[in-house]
């Protein structure tokens, strides 16, 4: 598998960092020497190899049918791209795992890449799991819910869906058609009358005996058939029941069947593309242009379109389509089993090996095909059109972003467009629950997986001291950067630091950086204008008079959005911290007081303040509080008693 820099889902794109520092001839010789010695002990068997640098970080994980031949190819440095030459020269150690087959090696390789995130491999950075629909087992009246994460034994899972929106739409249909419950078991067992969902005809109310277990089991069976592709059979069965009820003059029952049929028909009628003959399949299409790639994935389960997602692999300009597609598929199906059929618009490299590996992982046969005609070809063409359009939008957005970064460099006097902008803000209410926040932006837009929040911990920071909070945040941020990335080659250092505030915030930041011995960062502060009017912002920089940008300046709007995003993130972090604090009380500080005793004390005394003021005898009178526990509580609030 060829190494590719990075793979991301969504608007942000983070290139694998490149170390531009020149390597000495001695370092080059050392890297080649390591590989040459390593090859002497390698077998000609399938397996996985890992290359690591002097710090012990994994540079690259690769698989091979013949380990000796594959690793030997890296010693022919002149035939390698510049980036891989640097990888070889930086290698100080190698490790190998022998597998029975090349397919097992491919599976192990994708697992290690996801776990270790090697610098020179493709990295699937989308950590969000795909949502599923789950029919929960272990209950006479199973409920149907949306599910992410690990699977539980006894439950059934249907999916994956491309998004939570697709799951919610399908769940709404299932509620209308099959009337299955979605409430928790606790709510189910406690109900004494039907809930609102029953009133709007989205639940059959088994909680109060509106249907018995046999009838409900039949509804679950029908829902299962619908989700596995037998929707027409279910619809025909409902139509027969409707006719039977109408013939028996049971018009209300017939109308209920009619409404369920309408809901099912609406799902079948609103498919955007023809899915006839497609049961369980993923349609994957790749489009390349301008040295960039977009991969579109459409999910079809039970003959229904469960949505689509676009992915943008970052790679060298000369990387071929088949190599990109092989790398994508191998890691894409690492987190969940591949469907029975994968339809592509181009053949991946090592297609036979991929089929074997994906089948091994799924525990059943998986086929990969490039259809040439018919409905399947129409599906692939439709996905390819979407891939092309998504890539065009992406390139247009990147072009606009690049112009904004060039304008930002001009405004702040940077030598080049910034690749990483960090924006800082803090949030609190009257000094309580103070939180600092950092958001990050770059050539691909907002880099949300790089956002950080900082709980203000220092006792030296007076509640409400915004300058003190900013000093703590920046001290922690850049002291850590100095420790983890002293050479500034791992992408942790910003090109521009932007603070939400005025001259005071700027002075506090410059003092922190000076104390840390950092003198080469561009730092600026953005202060709201008179009456906090957007468009009247002032910018503060060391060595320059405060300045403003024209009201319609595109960079002003760009910086406003970054400032507002930092403010939003800071407020969200503060609210989460405040909500958590609201649920706490001084009783949580008493050793040995759990939830049950805390509840008993609050019920008896009415408030935590009353508990703190209570006498020893009063505490002993509370149910569940022993004499020893009462003494412990009393001593906690009366340490001198």
User: Which one-letter DSSP state was computed for residue 547?
Assistant: B
Residue 400 has pLDDT above 60, yes or no: yes
Question: What pLDDT sits at residue 605?
Answer: 76
Residue 274 has pLDDT above 50, yes or no: no
Question: What pLDDT sits at residue 460?
Answer: 74
pLDDT, tens digit, 9 for 90 and up, residues 294-304: 999 998 887 77
Question: What pLDDT sits at residue 342?
Answer: 95
Left if phi > 0, otherwise alpha if psi is -120 to 50, otherwise beta: which for 501?
left
Query: 12 or 264, which is more confident?
Result: 264
Question: With bands split at pLDDT 50, 70 and 90, how would you rate the model's confidence at 18?
Answer: very low
Average pLDDT over all residues of the chain: 82
Residue 213 sits at the vertex; the CA angle it makes with 208 and 214, to the nearest 5 degrees, is 140
Cβ count near 620 (within 10 Å): 17
Locate the domains of the chain by residue range.
17-116, 132-269, 281-390, 421-581, 586-636
CA–CA distance, 402 with 409 (Å, rounded to integer):
11
Residue 1 has pLDDT above 70, yes or no: no
Residue 534 has pLDDT above 70, yes or no: no
pLDDT, tens digit, 9 for 90 and up, residues 585-640: 667 777 778 778 887 887 777 777 788 888 888 888 888 888 888 888 888 887 75
Beta-bridged to residue 296, according to DSSP, are 285, 310
pLDDT, tens digit, 9 for 90 and up, residues 72-119: 999 888 888 887 888 888 899 999 999 999 999 988 888 888 788 888
Query: 120 or 217, which is more confident?
Result: 217
Question: With bands split at pLDDT 50, 70 and 90, how would you rate the model's confidence at 283?
Answer: very high
Lowest mean pLDDT among 1-15, 124-138, 514-528: 1-15
Question: What pLDDT sits at residue 405?
Answer: 93
- Residue closest to 66 by CA, chosen among 32, 93, 105: 105
Left if phi > 0, otherwise alpha if psi is -120 to 50, otherwise beta: which for 242?
alpha
Token pair for residue 356? Answer: 């074997």
Question: What pLDDT sits at residue 638?
Answer: 76
Question: What pLDDT sits at residue 242?
Answer: 82
Query: 471 or 125, which is more confident?
Result: 471
pLDDT, tens digit, 9 for 90 and up, residues 363-377: 889 999 999 988 889
The mean per-residue pLDDT over the stretch 55-68 comes to: 90
Question: With bands split at pLDDT 50, 70 and 90, how would you rate the model's confidence at 495?
Answer: very high
User: Which fold, 17-116?
Assistant: GIY-YIG endonuclease (3.40.1440)
Cβ count near 82 (within 10 Å): 9
Token pair for residue 118? Answer: 């090697």
Q: What does each C-alpha distance from 581 to 256, 577, 584, 633 come to in angstroms?
A: 48, 6, 5, 21
pLDDT, tens digit, 9 for 90 and up, residues 336-386: 889 999 999 999 988 999 999 999 988 889 999 999 988 889 899 999 999
User: What is the percent of the chain with per-residue pLDDT over 90, rounded to a whole number?
Assistant: 26
The mean per-residue pLDDT over the stretch 220-242 comes to: 75
The mean per-residue pLDDT over the stretch 392-397 comes to: 80
Q: Identify the CATH homologous superfamily for domain 586-636.
A: 5' to 3' exonuclease, C-terminal subdomain (1.10.150.20)
The top-scoring range by mean pLDDT among 248-252, 430-434, 526-530, 616-620 is: 616-620
Q: One fold for both 281-390 and 586-636?
A: no
Q: Identify the CATH homologous superfamily for domain 281-390.
A: Ribonuclease H-like superfamily/Ribonuclease H (3.30.420.10)
CA–CA distance, 278 with 257 (Å, rounded to integer):
27
- Cβ burial of 214 (10 Å; 0-12, 13-18, 19+) is exposed
pLDDT, tens digit, 9 for 90 and up, residues 402-456: 899 999 999 999 988 999 999 999 886 655 668 889 999 998 888 888 999 998 8
Helix then strand count (H, E) for the chain reads 20, 19
Q: Identify the CATH homologous superfamily for domain 421-581.
A: UvrC, RNAse H endonuclease domain (3.30.420.340)
Residue 16 has pLDDT above 70, yes or no: no
Question: With bands split at pLDDT 50, 70 and 90, how would you rate the model's confidence at 127?
Answer: low
Question: What pLDDT sits at residue 344?
Answer: 95
Residue 207 has pLDDT above 80, yes or no: yes
pLDDT, tens digit, 9 for 90 and up, residues 163-178: 777 788 788 878 888 8
- Cβ burial of 632 (10 Å; 0-12, 13-18, 19+) is middle
Query: Are 440 and 455 spatial neighbours (Cβ–Cβ below 8 Å)?
Result: no
Query: Are 20 and 82 spatial neighbours (Cβ–Cβ below 8 Å)?
Result: no
């Amino acid at each position: 598998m060829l190494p590719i820099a990075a793979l991301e889902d969504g608007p942000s794109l983070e290139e694998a960092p490149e170390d531009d520092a020149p390597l000495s001839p001695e370092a080059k010789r050392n890297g080649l020497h390591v590989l040459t010695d390593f090859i002497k002990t390698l077998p000609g068997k399938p397996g996985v190899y890992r290359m690591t640098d002097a710090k012990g970080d994994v540079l690259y994980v690769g698989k091979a049918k013949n380990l000796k031949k594959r690793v030997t190819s890296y010693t022919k440095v002149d035939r390698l791209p510049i980036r891989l030459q640097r990888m070889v020269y930086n290698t100080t150690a190698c490790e190998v795992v022998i597998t029975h087959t090349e397919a097992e090696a491919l599976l192990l390789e994708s697992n290690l890449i996801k776990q270790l995130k090697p610098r020179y491999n493709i990295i699937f950075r989308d950590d969000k799991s795909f949502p599923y629909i789950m029919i929960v087992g272990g209950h006479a009246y199973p409920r149907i819910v949306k599910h992410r994460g690990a699977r539980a034994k006894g439950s059934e899972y249907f999916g994956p869906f491309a998004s939570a929106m697709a799951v919610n739409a399908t769940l709404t249909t299932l509620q209308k058609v099959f009337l299955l419950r979605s409430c928790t078991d606790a709510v189910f067992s406690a109900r004494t009358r039907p809930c609102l969902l029953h009133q709007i005809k989205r639940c059959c109310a088994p909680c109060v005996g509106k249907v018995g277990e046999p009838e409900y089991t039949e509804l679950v069976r029908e829902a299962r058939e619908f989700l596995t592709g037998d929707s027409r059979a279910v619809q025909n069965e409902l139509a027969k029941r409707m006719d039977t009820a109408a013939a028996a003059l049971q018009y209300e029952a017939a109308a209920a069947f009619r409404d369920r049929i309408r809901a099912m028909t609406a799902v079948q009628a609103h498919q955007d593309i023809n899915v006839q003959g497609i049961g369980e399949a993923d349609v994957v299409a790749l489009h390349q242009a301008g040295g960039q790639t977009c991969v579109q994935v459409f999910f079809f389960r039970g003959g229904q379109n469960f949505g689509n997602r676009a992915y943008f692999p970052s790679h060298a300009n000369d990387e071929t389509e088949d190599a990109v597609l092989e790398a994508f598929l191998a890691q894409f199906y690492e987190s969940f089993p591949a469907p029975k059929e994968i339809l592509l618009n181009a053949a991946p490299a090592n297609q036979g090996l991929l089929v074997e590996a994906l089948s091994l992982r799924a525990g059943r046969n998986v086929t990969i095909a490039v259809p040439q005609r018919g409905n399947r070809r129409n599906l692939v063409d439709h996905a390819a059109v979407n891939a092309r359009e998504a890539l065009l939008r992406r390139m247009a957005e990147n072009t606009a972003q690049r112009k904004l970064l060039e304008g930002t460099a001009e405004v702040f006097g940077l030598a080049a467009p910034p690749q990483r902008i960090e924006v800082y803000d803090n949030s609190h209410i009257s000094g309580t629950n103070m939180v600092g926040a950092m958001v990050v932006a770059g050539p691909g837009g907002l880099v949300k997986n790089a956002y950080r929040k900082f709980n203000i911990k220092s006792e030296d920071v007076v509640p409400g001291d915004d300058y003190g909070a900013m000093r703590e945040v920046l001290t922690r941020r850049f002291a850590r950067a100095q420790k983890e990335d002293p050479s500034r080659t791992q992408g942790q250092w910003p090109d521009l630091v932007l603070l939400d505030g005025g001259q005071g915030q700027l002075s506090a930041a410059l003092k922190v950086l000076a104390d840390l011995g950092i003198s080469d960062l561009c730092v600026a502060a953005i202060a709201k204008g008179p009456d906090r009017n957007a468009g009247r912002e002032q910018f503060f920089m060391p060595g320059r008079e405060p300045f403003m940008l024209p009201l319609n300046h595109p960079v002003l709007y760009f910086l406003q959005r970054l400032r507002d995003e930092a403010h939003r993130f800071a407020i969200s972090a503060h609210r989460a911290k405040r909500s958590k604090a609201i649920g706490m009380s001084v009783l949580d500080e008493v050793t040995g007081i759990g939830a049950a005793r805390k509840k008993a004390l609050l019920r008896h005394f009415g408030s935590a303040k009353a508990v703190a003021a209570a006498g020893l005898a009063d505490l002993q009178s509370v149910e569940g509080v022993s004499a020893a526990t009462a003494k412990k509580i009393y001593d906690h609030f009366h340490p001198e008693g």
